[in-house]
Amino acid sequence: MLLEDRIAVVYGAAGAVGGATARAFAREGAHVVLVGRRRDPLDAVADAVRGAGGRAEVAVVDAADAEAVDAHVGAVVAEHGRIDVSLNATSLRGDLQGTPLREMPVDDFLLPAMTGLRSQFCTTTAAARRMTEAGSGAILTLSTSAAALAGRDRRFHATGGFGVACAAVEELTRSLAGEVGRHGVRVVCLRPDALPETWGERTGAAREAERFMTDGTALGRMPTLQQVADAAVFAASDRAGAITGAILDLTCGSVMPR
C-alpha cells in the first residue's frame, strides 16, 4: 500500500473532495485524521472508512483559526509521534463566481481569500513547522482550473475573487515548497477542473455549463472525484518523491500548462 502507516490529516474531510481523498488515503493504509467544523458529517466519513477496514479519527477544528489548527496539529504529533501528510480540501467559495468584477462588492471579492486562502495558510504552515522538525512529510493544497483559465472560460465564468484565491494558493504552494524542501518536506497543489458529480441534480443552466466546460477539455470529459483522490494518494506517496512546488493539473486538458 502506498501510504501504509502514514498519519494523514485531511481538512474539509466531510466535503466531496476531502471525503473521497480521506477514504482513498485509508484504503492505501494511512491512519486518517478527519478535520472539519461539524462533527456529524465527519463521523459519517469516519464510519465509512472504518467499515472498509481503515483507521480514522475525528476532530472539530476551524481550519481558518490559526491557533486552533496549530494546537490540533501539535496534539496529533503528541499522540502519534508525527504527521506525514496534510491535505486541505476546504472550500475556496466557488459559489461566488458569476458576477463581473466591475459589479462585485469588495467583500464578495475578498471572501475567497479571507476564508479559503487563509485556511490554506493556517494548515500548511502548521504542518510545515512539525514536518521540518521531523525531516519529512508531504503537504497537499487544493486549487482549481480557475487559476489558469483561457479567455473563453474567463468570459463564461467571471470567477471574481475565487480565481484570484486559487492562483494565490498555487503561489503559496511554490513559495512554501522553496522554503521547506531542504528539510525533507514536499508541497504539491492539486488543480482539478469542476466535478459535475458533486453538483447534485442538474438544472438546465447546470447542464449547459457542463456541456460548455466538457467541450473545452482535450479528453472530452471532466475529472471525477476518484481521479482527484487517486492523484492525491500518489502525490502524498514516496512514488512522488521527486515532485515539489508543482501544480498537478487534473483538468482533463481544459488547461495545458507549460
CATH number of 7-250: 3.40.50.720
CA distance 176 to 183: 12
Quick count: other Cβ atoms within 10 Å of Cβ 1? Answer: 12
Structure confidence at residue 133 (pLDDT)? 97
Q: What three-state secondary structure class fits 185?
A: strand
pLDDT of residue 128: 98
SS3 6: coil
**Segment-wise mean pLDDT, segments of 10 residues, the chain, 258 residues:** 97 97 98 97 98 98 98 98 98 83 92 93 98 98 91 84 94 98 98 90 80 93 97 98 98 89
Long-range CB pairs of 103-106, under 8 A, 24+ apart, other chains included = 104/160, 104/161
CA distances from 92 to 17, 55, 120 (A): 12, 28, 9
pLDDT of residue 15: 96
User: Taking a C-beta distance cutoff of 8 angstroms, is the pair 234, 2 a contact?
Assistant: yes
Looking at residue 205, its pLDDT comes to: 77
Closest C-alpha to 7, from 78, 90, 76? 76
Q: What is the pLDDT of residue 10?
A: 98
pTM over 0.75: yes
Residue 79: its pLDDT value, please? 97
Domain ranges of the chain: 7-250
Distance between terminal CA atoms of the chain? 32
Partners of 87 in the β-ladder: 10, 140
pLDDT of residue 97: 78
pLDDT value for 184:
98
pLDDT for res 149: 85
